[in-house]
Structure 1
Amino acid sequence: MRGKLLLGGLLPVLLLALVGVTAGPAAAQQSLRLQYKTSATGATADQVEPWFNLANDGTSAVPLNGVKIRYYFKADAGSPQYRFACSWATISCSTITGAFGTLSPGTATADRYLEVGFTSGTLAPGARTGDLQLRFHRADWQRITQSDDHSFGPAHTTYGDWTKVTVHHNGALVWGTPPAGGGGPTPTPTPTPSNPGGAGVVFDDFAYTGADDPAITAHNWTVRTNSGGPGVPGASWPKQNVSFPTLSGGNRALQLKAGTDGTAAGTRQSEVLHQRKFLEGTYAARVKFSDAPISGPDGDHIVQTFFTITPLAFDMDPAYSEQDFEYLPNGGWGEPANIMYTTSWETYRNEPWEAVNVHTEVRQSYAGWHDLVLQVSGGQIRYYIDGALFAEHGGIYYPETAQSVNFNLWFINGGLVGSATPREYIQQVDWFYHSKNEVVAPADVLNRVNGYRSASTTWVDTVPGS
């Protein structure tokens, strides 16, 4: 379900500043220059392998989170789905995203594109990214015909300038030539910004007395009690694992608890979910993650979450979608230690397992309170943690149908430590906010939440039901 990460932290920024490039003068609007080569030169290939090296010939530093690189290609017959991967990158694959888009109308050489983005880093004047060794393949692993692709350059086995791949900075084309006659991307139309809450808002300060408070149902939340996944098969989801303790000054928070004694019968998980009526707009929550249990031995693979989801009606259901913040304090899914994932889903199949998703991850502790913001707008999904852009996804992973909002706390099947001593973990949520069809900057989200609290407003819901 989850992918691999190379190095993170400050290394990408340092490398960008240290790797130099010799370049001639360039106009300000052409300060970014792309070099390309390929390690798969055949007319057909199992994987398309575009490798990039982005240079900054200008005099000002360029934040990479505003840069997009587009590689244009012609889809094979049958409209197959494609999967992106980063094999290796000087600046670390953890900072690189990849998503697929469509051109409408298409051309003889392009009706799709791979859009490569960056979650962090700054490209200093005169610097370059160094190797970005990227690849993509068909989901069914059939061979790809690339000889008819606009951006394919079979003679480029060493790096050289290549204008058939475009570079965009803050939405403007700054390098390269897109396919002649090709239309623009065709994502869901960008929501029109409105006055705060103009299309409806939900705000909840979780000022409830307990899991049986009738206001919970009245406010369209459900405390889960039914059995089933995710997590340990046979685990229960008892209502009493959800509570609303006072944090300070009378301010309450939603608290999820999960406990286990190492057996399925002794494993108890928790989840709270809102009704399905959310799609485009801004979602936000202040969440407290923890690295250790409040009692008992540590080490269980536990998942602490904030996410949106459309249920899966059947295997590979195209209407399914999900956008996750998932923190694993003790690792799991092959990871040995704490890791934060943001994952955007197109669909999946349980048996045999096949996941159609894209994810970004950082290996570090996220214990403590964090402001999580999710923006779903104009074909792009943006994840922010504490005001900083963490990930950007799009293409086929963009949601298409109404979703619910969920918080849950659960154990990964097969990830319980070998101890019969009971242990318990908690996750807390201070507040939740959503603005329908409006992109709200993380700082503005906090201003609005503070405004509600200054007015002693604990709950608002003006978003129509789906």
Structure 2
Amino acid sequence: MPSETRRPRTSRRLLLGGLVSALLATTIGVSAAGPAGAAQSLRLQYKTSATGATADQVEPWFDLVNDGPSAVPLSEVKIRYYFKADSPSQQYRFACSWAVISCSTVTGTFGAISPGTASADRYLEVGFTSGNLAAAARTGDLQLRFHRTDWQTTTQSDDHSFGPARTTYGDWTKVTVYRNGALVWGTAPAGGGPSPSPTPTVTPPPGGNAGVVFDDFAYTNSDDPNITAHKWTVRTNSGGPGVPGASWPKGNVSFPSIGTGNQALQLKAVSDGTGAGTQQAEFLHQRKFLEGTYAARVNFSDAPVSGPDGDNIVETFFTITPLAADLDPNYSEQDFEYLPNGGWGEPGNIMYATSWETYRNEPWLAVNVHNEVRASYAGWHNLVLQVSGGQIKYYIDGALFAQHGDIYYPETVQSVNFNLWFISGGLVGSSTQRSYVQQVDWFYHAKNEVVAPNEVVNRVNGYRSAATRWVDTVPAP
């Protein structure tokens, strides 16, 4: 891709499941209050997995206990962790790494305390969307964390709720619990009166269909002028991803007949085991895509069409926003990636669906979430990606494969890409040239519309019945 640099995954991948993010709410006061009395039923236990005075992420882990005689609806409960911001303008993002009750039910927002104290001018408020905490029961682990939006180190030694010695769960009154707005556990920092819960700002996606793109890939060859007219690019520039020194020849993109009366986009990658002898391929559309439905019918291969097998090859369909700088918060990427021979520590064929918030090259830090299935995906498959309402859904052949959201939801316009490349360090020890191919029968996008996988196929069949090979009514940004 002309302006983007991809990178391999490593075992240091930061995988944060079920994340929820929110911008800093308006300034809100919090009252000083003593620990809840014996009549109160809720009790909060705390420990931390990040005990240093400074940390990449603050990691408060909670276990909420119901000592009362009846169940408590968790939707009535808020937990507040108080801290001192590193600067007045600094913003933070919340993450639920794992929870016994499921991260999908856990929310996180940030509020401010005015006037602040020496140990607190902000708080993280943790809430729940559903569930009941039975009498004499506990939630079990709520493994939470939050970090600065610029991913710089945060100081936590001066935070009101931080307990560096708390490496095992124990009662902790420096974190408060509210039920229906009333303090029932813990001591809040001194300040104003009790505050309402902060409400995160949610911007709904624009509704309705705002254009479509359909391409049947009826091109003569990689020099066909209609490719450029239709805003596609055949990549020829050097650089990542893949084997250092590899080239991206224009001729590695072609449009053969696939025996069904249709043509397909075909990507070819070849290697003789050296960087200079390695060629990769990529075909990409302009940046103008964000919310809506993306779909493609893709033919994955488990073996080369010639030469020895075993290279770590990556066969892809993805969307991406360029990385402007390390940990760029506007970066995004949603990937279907099939590795027929494994790679990134995997020994055999594996399909990934990965959503990216951002990353840093040196030292490597990946902020993404993924799902995977270890199985062969050789052959034709319908891939559908839905991006709408804060959720990213990946479908393969009509079945939901993965669902992500929160900080991984894209924020800026993206390009659509298909590429075929070798993982650096993943070539087999042979000088015999081998050649791999990936084919794409069609591509479809509906802007600002969630289209079910079966309806995508119906629409594509409608275009083909009408002999329509190309449509683009999505405006450029």
Same fold (TM over 0.5): yes
1:306 matched to 2:317 = yes
Alpha-carbon distance, 1:356 to partner: 2.3
Alpha-carbon distance, 1:51 to partner: 7.6
Aligned to 1:329: 340
In 1, are the aligned partners of 2:211 and 2:474 still within 8 Å (CA)? yes
In 2, are the aligned partners of 1:44 and 1:147 still within 8 Å (CA)? no
Aligned to 1:239: 250
In 2, are the aligned partners of 1:99 and 1:394 still within 8 Å (CA)? no
In 2, are the aligned partners of 1:200 and 1:435 still within 8 Å (CA)? yes
Aligned to 1:360: 371
Aligned to 1:191: 206
1:436 matched to 2:443 = no
Aligned to 2:16: none
Alpha-carbon distance, 1:204 to partner: 0.6
1:453 matched to 2:464 = yes
Separation (CA, whole Å) in 2 of partners of 1:428 and 1:190: 32
1:344 matched to 2:351 = no
Alpha-carbon distance, 1:390 to partner: 2.1
Alpha-carbon distance, 1:378 to partner: 2.0
Deviates more, 1:107-116 or 1:334-343: 107-116
Aligned to 2:69: none
Aligned to 1:181: 196
Q: Which residue, 115, 130, 136 being the options, matches 2:145?
A: 136
- After superposition, the Cα gap between the structure-2 partners of 1:268 and 1:378, relative to the gap in structure 1 and judged at 3 Å, is same
Separation (CA, whole Å) in 2 of partners of 1:99 and 1:345: 21
Report Cα offsets for 1:227-248 as digits up to 9, x if no partner.
1111111100011111111112
Aligned to 2:420: 409
In 1, are the aligned partners of 2:112 and 2:123 still within 8 Å (CA)? no
- After superposition, the Cα gap between the structure-2 partners of 1:257 and 1:71, relative to the gap in structure 1 and judged at 3 Å, is farther
- After superposition, the Cα gap between the structure-2 partners of 1:342 and 1:147, relative to the gap in structure 1 and judged at 3 Å, is farther
Computed over aligned residues only, the root mean square deviation of the Cα atoms, in angstroms, reads: 4.3
1:230 matched to 2:253 = no
In 2, are the aligned partners of 1:379 and 1:395 still within 8 Å (CA)? yes
Separation (CA, whole Å) in 2 of partners of 1:4 and 1:344: 16
Aligned to 1:320: 331
Report Cα offsets for 1:19-66 as digits up to 9, x if no partner.
xxxxxxxxxxxxxxxx9976649999976365899xxxxxxxxxxxxx
Percent identity between the aligned chains?
61
1:259 matched to 2:270 = yes
1:217 matched to 2:228 = yes
In 1, are the aligned partners of 2:78 and 2:125 still within 8 Å (CA)? no
Aligned to 1:26: none
Specify every segment of 5 or more residues in structure 2 that has no aligned partner in the other structure, as ranges: 1-8, 14-42, 65-76, 115-120, 131-138, 172-176, 180-193
In 2, are the aligned partners of 1:262 and 1:419 still within 8 Å (CA)? yes
Q: Which residue, 272, 293, 296 being the options, matches 2:283?
A: 272
TM-score (norm 2): 0.68
Q: SS at the partner of 1:222?
A: strand
Alpha-carbon distance, 1:226 to partner: 0.9
- After superposition, the Cα gap between the structure-2 partners of 1:426 and 1:417, relative to the gap in structure 1 and judged at 3 Å, is same
Alpha-carbon distance, 1:147 to partner: 6.8
| Count of residue pairs brought into register by the alignment | 388
1:427 matched to 2:433 = no
Aligned to 1:398: 409
- After superposition, the Cα gap between the structure-2 partners of 1:270 and 1:220, relative to the gap in structure 1 and judged at 3 Å, is same
Higher Rg: 2
TM-score (norm 1): 0.70
